[in-house]
């Protein structure tokens, strides 16, 4: 069937309440909206009868069946069975679109998503609770912002063209930063750099109004820490602390540490100390640019690596009388963060989830998400001998 014939059939349809009349057909439509697609679906199948091969007609009908069934306001095992049956019919006949030259392939995300409806509806409810509009914001976050970050030119020909390679590179970098789970990194870094100035700003709003004079920092996924000597030890004890985001199948690992908080802190005990989870280990650049060309960074900036740390709530005032372990709480809604030189980290520590009496650990907890799921922990002072000597 030609597009002209289809337009003619659609334009000759009689008027009907609730059904839009396309007086010029549909082939001339550009940027078809969602409501327009729904109106086309009302009449499309009937206009194709007798003009398209049987297999193609069955494939189209099964798609329409699926579309209408998935819109039910309630579902049970029977209606979900109907949904599964019509989806199987579509899979049996979908090759007709390729056989008759309509498409070269059917690798279309929306077609792929059909198979997930049968699982999503029992778990998330009927489809009137969610739709594709919830992802419209991603077009801004991933496409428009990526385009603005590019130079709008092709990398190879240097001519004006969609900067897709640059957009992909930008998006990849955004994902790598997001994997560290520290959305406040820039704000905390500005506050830290302000504290290094001779005449620091006092108002937080004024601090955040300034831009950073650099666009990247060197990041490390682990450090080796030499612990302070205690007593007559002949050598330093070495620890490896990791701040490694998830990469491919390798899970993330953000270790917990004990940080010097004030001048009362010592090499042993917990007075003047805070517990935190290290998220990023990085170096400040030695060259900056305020918009007037590159120059050396201020001499007050530390040359040693820095650590971005999410702090836990203050330790309990005294250890538990039975276990002799301190309790520390994690507050996800109020997660303060600091940036400190690595020399301000005294040692690593181990936090163990603390659950109410007679409570079992939830099934969905595992070794990789327990630090995010649990909110109360015990500070394990039996981690090793050095911890036993210093955490009390």
Q: Is the pLDDT of residue 348 over 60?
A: yes
Q: How confident is the model at residue 151 (pLDDT cuts 50, 70, 90)?
A: confident
**Distance (Å, whole) CA 193 – CA 301:** 8
**Per-residue pLDDT for 161 more than 70?**
no
> How is the chain split among helix, strand and coil, in percent rounded to 5?
35, 20, 45
Instruction: Bin 25: left if φ > 0, else alpha if -120 < ψ < 50, else beta.
Output: left
Banded pLDDT at 158 (limits 50, 70, 90):
low
Contact call for residues 274 and 237 (beta carbons, < 8 A): no
- Range with the lowest mean pLDDT among 40-44, 125-129, 337-341? 125-129
pLDDT tens digits along 378-389 = 888 888 888 888
Closest CA to 55 of 20, 107, 117, 100: 100
pLDDT the model gives residue 162? 56
Between the alpha carbon of residue 121 and those of residues 65, 79, 134, 155, 322, the distances in Å are 16, 11, 17, 44, 48
Element (H, E) at 337: strand 337-341
> Do the beta carbons of residue 187 and residue 208 sit within 8 Å?
yes
H or E element: which one contains 165?
A: helix 164-178
Q: How far is CA 103 from the centre of its chain?
A: 34
pLDDT digits over 218-229, tens only?
A: 989 899 888 877
Contact 54, 93 (CB under 8 A): no
CB 343 within 8 A of CB 354: no
Angle at 387 (CA atoms; ends 385, 388), nearest 5 degrees: 60
Q: What is the pLDDT of residues 358-375, one digit of tens each?
A: 778 888 888 888 888 888
pLDDT band at 160 (very low <50, low <70, confident <90, very high): low
What tens digit of pLDDT does each residue of 180-205 get? Answer: 878 888 888 888 888 888 787 778 77
Asked whether the predicted pLDDT for residue 255 surpasses 70, the reply is yes
For residue 36, count other CB atoms closer than 10 A to its CB.
14
Per the prediction, the chain carries an average pLDDT of: 84
**Rounded Cα–Cα distance for residues 65 and 390 (Å):** 68
Whether the pLDDT of residue 232 is over 80: the answer is no
CA 130 to chain centre: 19
- Inform me whether the pLDDT recorded for 157 exceeds 60: no
Share of the chain above pLDDT 90, in %: 16
Sequence spans of domains, the chain: 3-124, 184-391
| Better-predicted residue by pLDDT, 161 or 9 | 9
Encode pLDDT of 103-120 as tens digits.
888 888 888 888 899 988
Instruction: With beta carbons less than 8 A apart as the criterion, state whether 222 and 313 touch.
Output: no
Angle of CA points 96, 102, 104, to nearest 5°: 90
């Amino acid at each position: 069937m030609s597009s002209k014939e289809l337009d003619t059939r659609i334009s000759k349809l009689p008027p009907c309440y609730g059904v839009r009349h396309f007086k010029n057909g549909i082939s001339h439509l550009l940027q078809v909206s969602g409501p327009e697609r729904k109106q086309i679906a009302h009449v499309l199948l009937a206009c194709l009868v007798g003009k398209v091969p049987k297999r193609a007609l069955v494939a189209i009908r099964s798609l329409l069946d699926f579309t209408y069934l998935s819109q039910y306001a309630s579902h049970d095992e029977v209606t979900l069975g109907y949904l599964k049956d019509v989806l199987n019919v579509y899979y049996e006949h979908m090759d007709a679109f390729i056989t008759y030259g309509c498409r070269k392939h059917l690798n279309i995300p929306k077609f792929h998503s059909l198979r997930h409806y049968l699982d999503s509806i029992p778990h998330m409810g009927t489809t009137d609770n969610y739709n594709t509009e919830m992802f419209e914001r991603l077009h801004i976050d991933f496409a428009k912002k990526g385009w603005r970050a590019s130079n709008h030119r092709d990398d190879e020909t240097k001519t004006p063209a969609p900067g897709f390679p640059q957009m992909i590179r930008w998006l990849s970098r955004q994902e790598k930063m997001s994997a560290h789970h520290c959305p406040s990194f820039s704000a905390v870094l500005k506050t830290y750099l302000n504290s290094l100035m001779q005449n620091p700003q006092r108002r937080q709003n004024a601090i955040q109004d300034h831009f950073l004079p650099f666009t990247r920092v060197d990041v490390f996924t682990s450090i080796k820490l030499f612990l302070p000597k205690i007593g007559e030890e002949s050598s330093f004890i070495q620890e490896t602390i990791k701040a490694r985001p998830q990469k491919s199948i390798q899970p993330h690992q953000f270790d917990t540490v004990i940080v010097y908080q004030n001048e009362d802190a010592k090499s042993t005990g917990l007075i003047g100390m805070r517990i935190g989870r290290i998220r990023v280990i990085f170096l400040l650049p030695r060259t900056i640019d305020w918009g007037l060309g590159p120059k050396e960074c201020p001499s007050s900036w530390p040359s040693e690596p820095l650590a971005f740390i999410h702090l836990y709530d203050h330790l309990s005032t005294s250890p538990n009388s039975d276990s002799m372990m301190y309790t520390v709480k994690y507050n996800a809604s109020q997660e303060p963060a600091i940036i400190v030189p690595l020399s301000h980290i005294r040692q690593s520590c181990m936090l163990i989830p603390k659950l109410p009496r007679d409570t079992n650990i939830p099934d969905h907890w595992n070794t990789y998400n327990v630090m995010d799921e649990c909110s109360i922990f015990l500070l394990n002072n039996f981690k090793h001998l050095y911890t036993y000597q210093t955490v009390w």
